[in-house]
Amino acid sequence: MVRGNATSTKGHPIPPAPSRLWTALRLLPLAVWLIFYKASQSVPDHVRSSIDVATLPWVEYTLFGWLFGGYPHQVFDGHHSTLADVLAAMVYTVHFVAPLLFVVWLYRRHSCAAVVNFAFALGILNLVAEAFHFLYPTAPPWYFEMHGTFPASYAHAGHPAGLRRLDVAFNMHFFTPMYMKSPVVFGAFPSLHAGWPFLIAIFTPSLGKIMWVHVAWVSWAALYLHHHFLLDVLGGWAFAYVSAVLAVGRMPGKRPSVPVLPVGATNGTCLIPSRTLNTKRIQTMWRAFWGTFHAKPVRQPGRFLEV
């Protein structure tokens, strides 16, 4: 496959394929986060950091109490409805799917380099946030409302908070057991529920306001359901912003490092599939992505060749 001086059907220069070392290093934070996330659950409670139950509520009220007449997440109290509960549950419960769908979109419309850059930013965000949760665990709003500033214990089970209303309304037992088994109960700040959509939004300037609507939707749900303070949401945004800048050296949305390619165009690393994804195309995408680890670019006069 010819790379380097090749162009897409719109005349954009095609970026060379990422090297194995470049790809591996950028995927490393994501891999370390997955290992750390699993290993941290096995750490005995007596050696963990004490849980802070008072700082977030105090700072929250000090900064925003005058503006909202209380805690920001309590603004929605008294305005609950089944429709609002369903809308909040829809986006809040399945938020973990968004990065996976976004990776597919990046693969189709940009390049493997763009996918790896996003994975690098996501890995930084998750790793730093998880380290923060582990070293400085903080209680969410529902704990503060149920127990005040009474010292928290790691033996305390999770709680669905506002999502419990749906269990009651539809006479089901879904959200309560799911959140009671949550491995991270005291990880309020920063909010990855807010951080992931924000990171996706700043990586997708071409999608315009759609992704920012998604950011607002998830952030509203986090407050409405009493799962996070406003500080947690702002912290998630800030962590995501810094992670994106560290990943690409600048804001991704200001000057994209790779052009948007038309469907069916080759980008030097991957073949952008057609709009219809089937099993065979997904397998081809997977092989092409992992092929970046085994590609051996050899410099020839005026071009790069993959052998």
Question: pLDDT tens digit string along 203-257?
Answer: 887 776 888 999 999 999 999 999 999 999 999 999 999 999 998 876 555 544 4
Phi-psi region of 161 (alpha: psi -120 to 50; beta: other; left: phi over 0): left
Note whether 73 and 88 are within 8 A (CB): no
DSSP, residue by residue, 281-304: HHHHHHHHHHGGGT--EEEETTEE
The HSE-up count of residue 307 (CA atoms within 13 Å, CB side) is 7
Give the pLDDT of residue 96: 85
Q: Is the pLDDT at 290 greater than 70, yes or no?
A: no
Selection from 78, 80, 94, 81 nearest residue 174 by Cα: 94
Which residue shows structure tokens 């996330």? 37
Q: Rounded mean pLDDT of the chain?
A: 80
- 272 pLDDT above the threshold of 50: no
Strongest mean pLDDT among 13-17, 163-167, 179-183: 163-167
Contact 131, 40 (CB under 8 A): no
pTM of the model: 0.77
CA 271 – CA 262 distance, rounded (Å): 11
> Which two tokens mark 205?
């300037």
- DSSP assignment of 212-253 equals HHHHHHHHHHHHHTTS--HHHHHHHHHHHHHHHHHHHSS-TT
Q: What is the mean pLDDT of residues 196-209?
A: 85
Flag whether pLDDT at 83 surpasses 90: yes
Q: 302 falls in which pLDDT band (50, 70, 90)? A: very low
Higher pLDDT, 301 or 101: 101
Q: How far apart are CA 126 and CA 120, in angstroms?
A: 10
Residues in contact with 149: Cβ distance below 8 Å, sequence separation at least 6, in sequence order: 53, 54, 57
Instruction: Give Cα 236 to chain centroid, integer Å.
Output: 9
Judge whether residue 144 has pLDDT over 90.
Answer: yes
Q: Averaging pLDDT over each range in 95-109, 134-148, 269-283, which range is the top one?
A: 134-148
Residue 139: predicted pLDDT:
97
Structure tokens at 34: 């997955």
Residue 118, burial from CB neighbour count under 10 angstroms (0-12, 13-18, 19+): buried
Q: What is the pLDDT of residue 276?
A: 34
* Inter-residue contact 214 to 87 (CB < 8 Å): no
What mean pLDDT comes out for the span 95-119?
A: 86
The yes-or-no verdict on residue 285 having pLDDT over 80 is: no
Question: When comparing pLDDT for 238 and 95, which is higher?
Answer: 238
Of 19-33, 112-126, 130-144, the least confident:
19-33
Task: Decide if 266 contacts 216 (C-beta within 8 A).
Answer: no
pLDDT the model gives residue 240: 96
